[in-house]
Amino acid sequence: MQCNIDRQGRQLRIALGVVTSLLGAGLLAAWAIGALAGEWAPWTGIAAMLSGAFMIFAGVIGWCATRAMGFKTPI
């Protein structure tokens, strides 16, 4: 996992990871207090939190999985 994104890409990746994690936590909280019903809510919240954590990790180390696969990204 070599660094393949610049400072701007790292900052964006970390910011998006934080937002995604917070949205996942909010979804889980809404489900826990009964504002959301159904089996999808906790699983979607957990998936969002894990995805956000991965984005934060990738941003901190400066690695982009999409770029590692050979795709060009604008940021």
Q: Tens of pLDDT along 11-60?
A: 999 999 999 999 999 999 999 998 888 889 899 999 999 999 999 999 99
In a domain, 1, yes or no: no
- Is 31 a domain residue? yes
Q: Is residue 74 assigned to a domain?
A: no
Cα 56 versus chain centre, distance? 7
User: Does residue 61 fall inside a structural domain?
Assistant: yes
Q: Is 44 within a domain? A: yes
pLDDT of residue 23: 97
Give the pLDDT band of residue 2 (cuts 50, 70, 90): confident
What total number of domains does the chain contain?
1
| Domain annotation covers residue 13 | yes
Q: In terms of residue numbers, what domain contains 24?
A: 7-68
